[in-house]
């Protein structure tokens, strides 16, 4: 009498395919699209033994053997670097500003992530990370902008127990010397404004020079936020979306006479609609590039001055205040800076503006 073939251990035979039973090990009945022939059944048994060995050693990734398994998304070693990046971004979006989230999304979908996007997390270690970092742009600021995303993403993965080791500690930022303020002199301000042919443009940049507001705050400013000699700065427009101001520091700006004069001239042109500053077509700006392209760049070129970005209007306001002997704390509040940040950026002008004035104040106080 012929002996029946032994029942395969851990292999389930279906009509048209096979399944490897891994339920005892926290997975499921994983499908193999192989016909249930004796040779394929023997192969499935060998494959199962190989898998069990990897499970024992802690090196098994479900996606490596069963990429279509519905349990793949719950198996940490089966997640890819791209899966981790997208999960981290989904969580992070709830805690950061729209513009920051947009930067993160651009970074993880850029060419700098493309090479490792599909790599299994189980195969991504120190060497792979360092290789990815070595291919980033050399410029320290650009490198740090991208590497910061790597570090935050990998820290999330480690704390969520999706990454086996603290790879984020291996992401080192590069030292760079940030460009300091490059302000305009009062004579240069007059030269630039004289070359702006549009009255709307002159009002916009006259106000920018003498209010200290950020470009993103200027294009979001509404007439309803203008008071008696003040402007409530609580909104900024970045990447096409209006949101909170930088560092969430809403503030009440005391307007200088130059700034209020610019507003009065603007009101005479546009009336009190919604936005204070609008383009030549009367529509609000959706990006800070609008005033830059329409008015700033042509005026700088016509003035013959060395080119500087329009953000220097803000630095110019700060340095004019300091050189005029205004208390640094007041200027910092006007601009929405923390005192520490303000002193770090403008220390040279603060020291240059003193010229013994503070010592004389102290001498007068001591002799009273």
Q: Domain count of the chain?
A: 3
β pairing state of 11-13 and 18-21:
antiparallel
Q: Is the pLDDT of residue 218 over 50?
A: yes
Q: Tell me how many degrees the CA angle 234-94-140 measures, rounded to the nearest 5.
A: 80
Task: Identify the domain boundary among 170, 198, 218.
Answer: 170
* Residue 307 shares a structural domain with residue 194: yes
CATH classification at residue 194: 1.10.443.10
Across residues 218-230, what is the average pLDDT?
A: 92
* Residue 46 shares a structural domain with residue 117: no
Q: Tell me the pLDDT tens digit for each residue of 288-303.
A: 899 999 999 999 999 9
Looking at mean pLDDT, say which of 94-98, 113-117, 201-205, 361-365 comes out highest.
201-205
* Residue 197 shares a structural domain with residue 308: yes
pLDDT (0 to 100) of residue 152: 95
Its pTM stands at 0.63
* Residue 44 shares a structural domain with residue 95: no
The reply to whether 321 falls in a domain is no
pLDDT (0 to 100) of residue 368: 63
Across residues 87-96, what is the average pLDDT?
A: 90
pLDDT (0 to 100) of residue 26: 80
Position 92 confidence tier, pLDDT thresholds 50, 70, 90 = very high
The reply to whether 110 falls in a domain is yes
Query: Three-class SS of residue 120?
Result: strand
The reply to whether 350 falls in a domain is no
In the chain, % of residues over pLDDT 70: 92
CATH classification at residue 144: 1.10.150.130
* Residue 197 shares a structural domain with residue 295: yes
Across residues 333-343, what is the average pLDDT?
A: 86
pLDDT (0 to 100) of residue 101: 87
* Residue 191 shares a structural domain with residue 273: yes
* Residue 208 shares a structural domain with residue 155: no
The reply to whether 368 falls in a domain is no
The reply to whether 230 falls in a domain is yes
The reply to whether 322 falls in a domain is no
The reply to whether 352 falls in a domain is no
The more confidently predicted of residues 236 and 264 is: 264
* Residue 87 shares a structural domain with residue 201: no
pLDDT (0 to 100) of residue 172: 93
* Residue 129 shares a structural domain with residue 219: no
Best CA proximity match to 307, nearest among 292, 322, 285: 292
Position 208 confidence tier, pLDDT thresholds 50, 70, 90 = very high
* Residue 220 shares a structural domain with residue 205: yes
pLDDT (0 to 100) of residue 346: 85
Across residues 137-147, what is the average pLDDT?
A: 91
The reply to whether 27 falls in a domain is yes
Task: Identify the domain boundary among 55, 75, 95.
Answer: 75
* Residue 291 shares a structural domain with residue 199: yes
pLDDT (0 to 100) of residue 1: 45
**What single string gives the DSSP state of each residue in 230-268?**
EEEE--EEETTEEEPPGGG--EEEEPPHHHHHHHHHHHH
Task: Identify the domain boundary among 36, 56, 75.
Answer: 75
* Residue 278 shares a structural domain with residue 196: yes
Across residues 236-240, what is the average pLDDT?
A: 77
Report the run of H or E that residue 104 belongs to, with start and end: helix 98-108
| Range(s) of the domain holding residue 113 | 79-170
Best CA proximity match to 11, nearest among 42, 56, 54: 42
């Amino acid at each position: 009498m012929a002996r029946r073939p032994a029942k395969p251990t851990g292999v389930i035979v279906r009509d048209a395919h096979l399944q490897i039973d891994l339920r005892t090990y926290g997975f499921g009945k994983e499908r193999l699209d192989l016909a249930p022939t004796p040779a394929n059944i023997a192969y499935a048994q060998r494959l199962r033994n190989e898998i069990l060995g990897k499970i024992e050693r802690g090196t098994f990734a479900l996606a490596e053997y069963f990429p279509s398994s519905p349990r793949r998304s719950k198996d940490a070693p089966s997640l890819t670097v791209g899966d981790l990046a997208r999960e981290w971004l989904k969580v992070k979006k709830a805690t950061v500003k729209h513009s920051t989230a947009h930067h993160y999304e651009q970074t993880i979908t850029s060419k700098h992530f493309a090479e490792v996007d599909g790599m299994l997390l189980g195969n991504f270690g120190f060497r792979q990370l360092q290789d990815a970092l070595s291919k980033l742009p050399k410029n320290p600021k650009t490198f740090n902008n991208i590497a910061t995303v790597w570090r935050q993403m990998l820290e999330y993965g480690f704390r969520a127990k999706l990454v086996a080791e603290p790879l984020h500690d291996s992401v080192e930022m590069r030292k760079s010397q940030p460009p300091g303020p490059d302000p305009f002199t009062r004579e240069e301000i007059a030269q630039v404004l004289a070359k702006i042919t549009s009255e709307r443009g002159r009002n916009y940049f006259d106000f920018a020079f003498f209010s200290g507001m950020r470009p993103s705050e200027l294009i979001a400013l509404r007439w309803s936020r203008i008071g008696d000699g003040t402007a409530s700065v609580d909104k900024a427009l970045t990447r096409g979306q209006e949101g909170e101001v930088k560092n969430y520091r809403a503030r009440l700006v005391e307007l200088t006479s130059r700034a209020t004069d610019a507003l009065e001239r603007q009101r005479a042109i546009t009336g009190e609609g919604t936005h204070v500053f609008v383009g030549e077509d009367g529509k609000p700006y959706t990006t800070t590039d609008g005033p830059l392209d329409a008015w700033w760049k042509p005026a700088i070129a016509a003035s013959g001055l060395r080119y500087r970005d329009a953000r220097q209007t803000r630095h110019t306001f700060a340095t004019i205040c300091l050189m005029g002997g205004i208390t640094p704390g007041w200027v910092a509040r006007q601009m929405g800076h923390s005192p520490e940040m303000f002193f770090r950026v403008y220390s040279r002008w603060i020291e240059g503006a003193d010229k013994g004035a503070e010592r004389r104040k102290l001498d007068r106080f001591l002799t009273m």
